[in-house]
Amino acid sequence: ISLAKKVAATDTTVLLTGETGTGKEVFAQSIHVASNRANKNFVAINCSAFSKELLEAELFGHKAGAFTGAIKDQKGLLEEAHNGT
């Protein structure tokens, strides 16, 4: 927890890893709330929830017609989190 407090005060990239149900998202939200980005977007991404084929489109977005089922342009999750967490 002390490391999380130190990290929250910086502008560095953090990757949280761990088993399912260990509180990674809660920990990430805590870091976000304690950071200078607290008033910006927080976007939690569970990469295992996406198929290999759709992960890139979800992270980076896509244009309409890029693949079957892509009926409109969509921002990626990383763009939604821009300047946030």
CATH code of the domain containing 43: 3.40.50.300
Lowest mean pLDDT among 11-15, 28-32, 38-42, 54-58: 11-15
From residue 55, alpha-carbon distances to 4, 29, 42, 60 in Å are 28, 22, 19, 9
pLDDT of 53 above 90: no
Which whole number is the average pLDDT over 32-45?
92
Task: Look at the chain and report how many structural domains it folds into.
Answer: 1
pLDDT value at residue 83: 86
Its domain, for residue 42, covers: 2-80
In a domain, 10, yes or no: yes
- Give the amino acid at 33: V
pLDDT value at residue 30: 92
pLDDT of 33 above 90: yes
SS3 of residue 34 by DSSP: helix
In a domain, 63, yes or no: yes
Please indicate, yes or no, whether the overall pTM of this predicted structure exceeds 0.85. Answer: no
Percent of the chain with pLDDT over 90: 56
In a domain, 61, yes or no: yes
- Rounded Cα distance between 72 and 49, Å, is 21
Percent of the chain with pLDDT over 70: 100
